[in-house]
Amino acid sequence: MLADGSHDIPPGKVVEVTTYLEMRRPPPARGGAMPEGCTIRHVTDPDPAWYRALFLRVGGADWLWFSRLRLSEAALGAAITDPGVEVYAVECQGRAEGLLELDSRDGESCELAYFGLTPALIGQGVGRALMNFAIERAFSRPITRFHVHTCQLDSPQALGFYRRAGFTPVRQSVEVSDDPRLTGDLPPEAGSHVPIFRP
């Protein structure tokens, strides 16, 4: 158990205070259609290099998405081509600008594993349309819950967005990791909202 009070974080590390959210049934439908010229495409056999490039464009520049970057090519390929995982791209004018990954491998629930847009699509209603699609797709199967987690290394808008979509916070955790900008997983300028403390 984490004791009350202030705790120093070792140099070279980042701390994630993660909030876990879930929904047990689909919420009332919310309006929101994809803008003209944008579509959601099911990527049935995603190439790891393609996935990694989109993952970086969505979460590696402004935020500190790094978990998938630490997987080997083989491990990443196995994860995203598993029959229980579905990968979708939001494509606008033929270019992938958004990522949705649904993970139903446990057979009872569905995790919103990754959800994000490149800066080019922020504020255009694409996020709401993509979330509507994700909820509909998740509950198209017999699951007991749809769940997601987010932390302060993600967009500060993410938690509020998930709550407005119908997710309810259920718990929090703290995780300490090597700073991905010091390990070479991300460039030093990534996630400028989180300072780097070099060892």
Q: What is the pLDDT of residues 184-195, one digit of tens each?
A: 999 999 999 899
DSSP class per residue in 20-69: EEEESSPPPP----PPTTEEEEEESS--HHHHHHHHHHHHTSSS---GGG
What is the pLDDT confidence band of residue 125, given thresholds at 50, 70 and 90? confident
| Token reading at 7 | 């705790």
Contact 112, 78 (CB under 8 A): no
Computed over every residue of the chain, the mean pLDDT equals 93
The letter for the amino acid at 73 is E
Please compute the mean of the pLDDT values over residues 133-162 and round it to a whole number: 94
Residue 19 CA to residue 107 CA, distance in Å, equals 23
- The domain defined by 44-178 carries CATH number 3.30.420.80: no
What's the confidence (pLDDT) of residue 153? Answer: 86
Domain ranges across the chain:
44-178
What's the confidence (pLDDT) of residue 123? Answer: 84
What's the confidence (pLDDT) of residue 62? Answer: 86
| Token reading at 173 | 């955790």
The letter for the amino acid at 39 is T
What's the confidence (pLDDT) of residue 122? Answer: 85
SS3 content of the chain, % helix, strand, coil (to 5): 25, 30, 45
- Report pLDDT digits (tens) over 89-121: 999 988 999 999 999 999 999 999 999 999 988
This prediction's pTM: 0.93
Give just the sign of the alpha carbon dihedral 175, 143, 103, 22: negative
Task: Measure CA 182 to chain center.
Answer: 22
What's the confidence (pLDDT) of residue 19? Answer: 97
Identify the residue with better confidence: 19 or 155: 19
Q: Is the pLDDT of residue 2 over 80?
A: no
* Backbone Cα Rg of the chain: 17
- Report pLDDT digits (tens) over 10-26: 999 999 999 999 999 99
DSSP class per residue in 74-119: HHHHHHHTSTTEEEEEEEETTEEEEEEEEE-TTSSEEEEEEEEE-G
- Report pLDDT digits (tens) over 32-83: 788 888 999 999 999 999 999 999 999 987 899 999 999 999 999 999 999 9
